[in-house]
Amino acid sequence: MTIEAGWNLDNSYARLPKSFFSSHKPTPVRAPQLLILNESLAVSLGLDVDALQSEEGVAELAGNRLPEGASPLAQAYAGHQFGHFTMLGDGRAVLLGEQITPLGERVDIQLKGPGRTPYSRGGDGRAALGPMLREYIISEAMHALGIPTTRSLAVVSTGEQVIRETALPGAILTRVAASHIRVGTFQYVANWGTVEELRTLADYTINRHYPELAADENRYLLLLKEVMKRQASLIANWQLVGFIHGVMNTDNMTISGETIDYGPCAFMDTYDPATVFSSIDTEGRYAYENQPYMAGWNLARFAETLLPVLHDNQDEAVKLAQEEISNYSNIYQAYWLEGMRKKLGIFNEEDGDESLINDLLSMMEKQGADFTNTFRALTVSKPDETGLSGTQEFARWHSRWQERLTRQKEENVSVSVEQLMQSSNPAVIPRNHRVEEALEAAVEQGDLSVMERLLAVLSKPYAYTSNQEEYCTLPEPSDEPYRTFCGT
Ligand code: AMP
Ligand code: MG
C-alpha cells in the first residue's frame, strides 16, 4: 500500500517568462538510500514521515521519481563571483515546485545534486555526501539560533561516486527555502531580459515576499528598502554569533533575507575579525569583518538592477537608488548595536554602549578569546571563564559593565538581564572540530549517530543545560588554520 506523502505543490515560478528557467528533470541515481530526514520540518510542511521513508518517498528525495504536482526546473541567474560578473544558473539543483504548507505558506522544494542541467557548464551537477551533510548540520543549527535560513529536509546517498580530487560518495540534499530568488536572479534579468521581464520578476518577488508593498506605486523602491533591511538584519545576526559565510557572491544572497548556500562557511572560535576559512578566499574578501561591507556592495548591485523600474528618467533613478543605498551602513549598525546590547544584557540605550562593546571586543581580540565562550561565561556570571580575566583592563571593564547594568530598571521589561543574555548568547555553536567529527563518522564509517547527537544539542543553543558542556570545549591547538573548501 502506498501512503500519500502529502505533497501539495504549486509551480508559480514555472509560470514566469520562459527565459527565467529551463524545464528540466533530475537524472535518476543508481541506489538511493535515505540517510537523514528532518521529521519536524517534514511535519510542518504537511508531509508524511512514513511516506517519505518508503521506497517511493526515498525515490522522490533522490530525483528518481517526481512527486505529484511537481514541475521540475533549473533557475537561471547570474552573479558577481569574487567581484567578477558571470552567467550562472542552477548547475546542480532542480526546483521540484513550491509546497503549500498547512499554514498556507509557500516554500521552494529543491534537490541539490540531481545531475547536470542546462546551466552546469563544466560541472557534473552532482554533490558529495560530506558537503551535503555539512549543509544539513549548519543550516539546521542556524535555524535553531533563530537566524533566517534555508532548511534541510533530507539527505539521500545515491549509490554513485562523484569525482572531485578523489572519488567520493554522492548524495542529494532536499533544500527548503522561502524562495531561491537571488540578487543574481535580478542581475540575470536586468542584463539579458527586457524591462517588462524585470518588472515581472520584481512584482513576482514582491507578491511572494513583501505582499504589503504590492499596491504601492513606489513598490520597487520600497522593495529595495525592505531587502536592505532584511539583509542588514541577517548579516548583523551572523556577526553576533561569529558565523562566516565564506562566499557572499551576489548569487548567494537571497531577496527573502534567508542565509543560503552553505559552502565553505564556518563559525569562528577565537575572536579575530580577519578570520577567513575558505581556501579560495585568498584576499580575505569575505573575512568576518568584511561581511557587512560586502553585503552593502551586493545590495548596491541589486539597486543597479532596479534602475529601469525606479524612474523613467535614469538620472532620477540613480539618485533614488543612491539615497537608499547610502542608508545601509546606518541600518546595519543599528541592528548590530541592538544585538550586541542584548548580548550584554542591556535593554535601554546609552551613548557609551558602543564603546563598552568595542572595548570588550578589542580585549577579546588581543587575548585571542573564544567568541562564543566569552559571552557564555559573562551570561552565567563566570568572568574567570571568559578567557580575559586576570588583567586590570578586564577588571575595569567588568565593573564598568556592572555599573552600566545598574542604570536600567528591570521592572520596565518582561525579561531579566540573565534571561536576555541567555536568549542572545548561544551556549553551543557547530564548532568545526565537532562538525568534522560527525561528518567523518557518517562518511567514513556510515555511522550517523555522532551527527544525530550533535544535531540534538545544536537544536537548543540557548538552553544552557549540562549536556551541552562537552560541545563547548575548544579544539586541540593546531598549527594549521581550519580550512573549508568550495569544491562541493
Ligand atoms: P556555489 O558555489 O554552490 O554557490 O555554486 C556556484 C555556481 O556553480 C552555481 O551556478 C552552481 O550551480 C554551480 N555549480 C557548483 N557545483 C557544481 C557542479 N558540481 N556541477 C555543476 N554546476 C555546479
Ligand atoms: Mg550558489
Same domain for 193 and 148 = no
Asked if 114 and 61 touch (Cβ cutoff 8 Å), the reply is: no
Give the ligand 1 atom nearest the CA of 252: 4
The bound ligand whose nearest atom lies closest to the alpha carbon of 75 is 1
462 C-alpha vs ligand 1 centroid, how far in Å?
34
pLDDT digits (tens, 9 = 90+) for 262-305: 999 999 999 999 999 999 999 999 999 999 999 999 999 999 99
Mark the ranges of the chain whose per-residue pLDDT is less than 50: none
Range 190-194, long-range pairs (CB < 8 A, 24+ positions): 190/304, 190/305, 190/306, 190/308, 191/78, 192/19, 192/78, 192/87, 193/17, 193/19
Residue 270 has what DSSP assignment?
B
Same domain for 242 and 268 = yes
Same domain for 80 and 146 = yes
pLDDT of residue 1: 52
The finding on whether 184 has its CB within 6 A of some atom of ligand 1 is no
CA–CA separation, 261 and 149 (whole Å): 9
Asked if 295 and 248 touch (Cβ cutoff 8 Å), the reply is: yes
Same domain for 234 and 150 = no
The answer to whether position 391 is within a domain reads no
The finding on whether 124 has its CB within 6 A of some atom of ligand 1 is yes
Within 13 Å, how many C-alpha atoms sit on residue 389's CB side?
Answer: 10
Neighbours of ion ligand 2 (CB under 5 A): 252, 261
Within 13 Å, how many C-alpha atoms sit on residue 304's CB side?
Answer: 15
The answer to whether position 310 is within a domain reads yes
> CA 16, 20, 22, 25 torsion: positive or negative?
negative
Asked if 209 and 106 touch (Cβ cutoff 8 Å), the reply is: no
Tell which of 277, 302, 335 closes a domain: 335
80 C-alpha vs ligand 1 centroid, how far in Å?
14
Give the ligand 1 atom nearest the CA of 122: 21
The finding on whether 26 has its CB within 6 A of some atom of ligand 1 is no
pLDDT of residue 2: 61
pLDDT of residue 486: 64
481 C-alpha vs ligand 1 centroid, how far in Å?
25
Which residues are catalytic, by number? 251
Same domain for 269 and 240 = yes
CA–CA separation, 278 and 475 (whole Å): 19
CA–CA separation, 346 and 389 (whole Å): 21
> CA 83, 89, 94, 99 torsion: positive or negative?
positive
Same domain for 132 and 44 = yes
Tell which of 288, 316, 335 closes a domain: 335
Domain span including residue 139: 9-177
pLDDT of residue 420: 97
Cell of 144: 535553531
Tell which of 298, 319, 335 closes a domain: 335
Domain count, the chain: 2
Same domain for 164 and 227 = no
Same domain for 214 and 327 = yes
The finding on whether 90 has its CB within 6 A of some atom of ligand 1 is yes
231 C-alpha vs ligand 2 centroid, how far in Å?
17
